[in-house]
Structure 1
């Protein structure tokens, strides 16, 4: 099984404190402890209300820079809380990449909530993504694995299917996966200009509090492209009931906005959901939460 890429630098609370002492000394005496260690970034809790977000490998360093550049603009559009950097850290001899101080948003990852409990805020997520999905300006990042033509993901998906990564989820799913993928590839393409795309709005990047959706996290994959990529969350996050509400609100908002018809929207979104969930299952031995999201989505996409 593939595993999470190893960290290329030893990220510790002592390193974070040293960086703060050097660049933001007024924050350096706050308590620091590791809160999350993801594939691309590590997050350290800083006092009660802040966090420090640092890339853990060179491939992720540009992602932090994208967040620093574009999140202030995107946060103004999003009706949910967004961890916009409040301080910017620059590269030094001790740490060779940019890093950020961001707000700590209290709540629970939606991935920890029962799937059925997510239905009440399905329309709120649709509205938040609709607010983000506006034409991206020149100079917006272009992510090679998010928001582009689905054909670019065929090789990666076929490799996962051939390796049998979906078999433990649904032993007879391979033929259905191929059929879904072909349907997604032949769907009408996105008819508009590239739009802002979050890139990774799965339930691990959504925060809930008291049964409500309150925040959208981790814009490291932010890109200009096809907004159907974000709509993959319909399968990653919801069951059939929640997905129906999410789709209904998404379609209604698109119609109200006067946008050009997009008849291939949900077929392409299903293709993106298959790409993402197959990757999540392939890495399941390394991250139980991501694996569970992938298993759920595959069962929603490819019911028996």
Structure 2
């Protein structure tokens, strides 16, 4: 089975029927397909709400995490300078077939829809402030668990990284592919670092929203957890040019060499996963951004 294939597909009619039955105050529901993510089918409702339906079991787990974390951010009145979804509607059913969630709409385009793969340079300082504030939140006030997936462990993920790289190889230029293999060959082995802060956990261009070409919002918090800051700092090595990274770190604060090493690993891993996704789905926008991101993460 294609790893991105839905085991729980939901049509636009099925989604409308579910929403109207559960929330009659939204009738008549005007619904528009916003596409699919790795784990969810997404619809815009009444030009005001975004409803996410799990495409598979992993999507159900991510949906529960996202709802809890975003509810926690609302309770602590988090303001970081960028929009993030506000949880409004929540249906917790028996499984992924009858569970879904509705958030406030973050208007704009997914970053991968933009032509300019350097557009995040302009937001480097503001993004640094955002993550500094997010990582400073008291974790005892956030309903989030630890990193059970050991996302930053090369001891666990290095072998799988080679497999993903091989699967993505047909869409990676040969010179860049060899650079990636060289990076993997020289990669040190380490265990997952201790988690100390709330992290979004999955920052990459498909989870960033732009308005008028500028970063405006951060979506898809289903991988949020109490983890290591490097998990989020990976976005610097994916999307910000080398000469602009100092603007980010001037705002965020100084980090040590180990954190940079961890962040660069996460960036390279994420972009290789995105390249495999782009190959499987023939998504040329994701392909363009992921190739650029991989180059940046290895530079």
Contact 1:67/1:219 (CA < 8 Å) preserved in 2?
yes
Separation (CA, whole Å) in 2 of partners of 1:140 and 1:214: 24
Q: Which residue of 2 aligns with 1:293?
A: 289
Q: Which residue of 1 aligns with 2:183?
A: 180
Q: Which residue of 2 aligns with 1:52?
A: 51
Contact 1:183/1:267 (CA < 8 Å) preserved in 2?
no
Q: TM-score, normalised by structure 2?
A: 0.85
Q: Which residue of 2 aligns with 1:23?
A: 22
Q: Which residue of 2 aligns with 1:150?
A: 154
Q: Which residue of 2 aligns with 1:77?
A: 78
Q: Which residue of 2 aligns with 1:35?
A: 34
1:267 aligned residue (255, 261, 271)? 261
Structure 2 gap segments, 5+ residues each = none
Q: Which residue of 2 aligns with 1:204?
A: 206
1:143–1:25 distance in 2 versus 1, CA, 3 Å = farther
Shift of 1:179: 4.9
Q: Which residue of 1 aligns with 2:106?
A: 105
* 1:218-268 superposed Cα distances (whole Å, 9 cap, x missing partner): 111112211201111113222223434223333x2xx5xxxxx63311111
Contact 1:187/1:264 (CA < 8 Å) preserved in 2?
no
SS at the partner of 1:120? Answer: helix
More displaced 10-residue stretch of structure 1: 148-157 or 197-206 = 148-157
Contact 2:264/2:298 (CA < 8 Å) preserved in 1?
no
Separation (CA, whole Å) in 1 of partners of 2:227 and 2:125: 22
1:300–1:17 distance in 2 versus 1, CA, 3 Å = same
Separation (CA, whole Å) in 2 of partners of 1:40 and 1:184: 29
SS at the partner of 1:264? Answer: helix
Q: Which residue of 1 aligns with 2:122?
A: 120
Separation (CA, whole Å) in 2 of partners of 1:145 and 1:291: 26
SS at the partner of 1:283? Answer: helix
Shift of 1:273: 0.9
Shift of 1:144: 4.4
Contact 2:90/2:101 (CA < 8 Å) preserved in 1?
yes
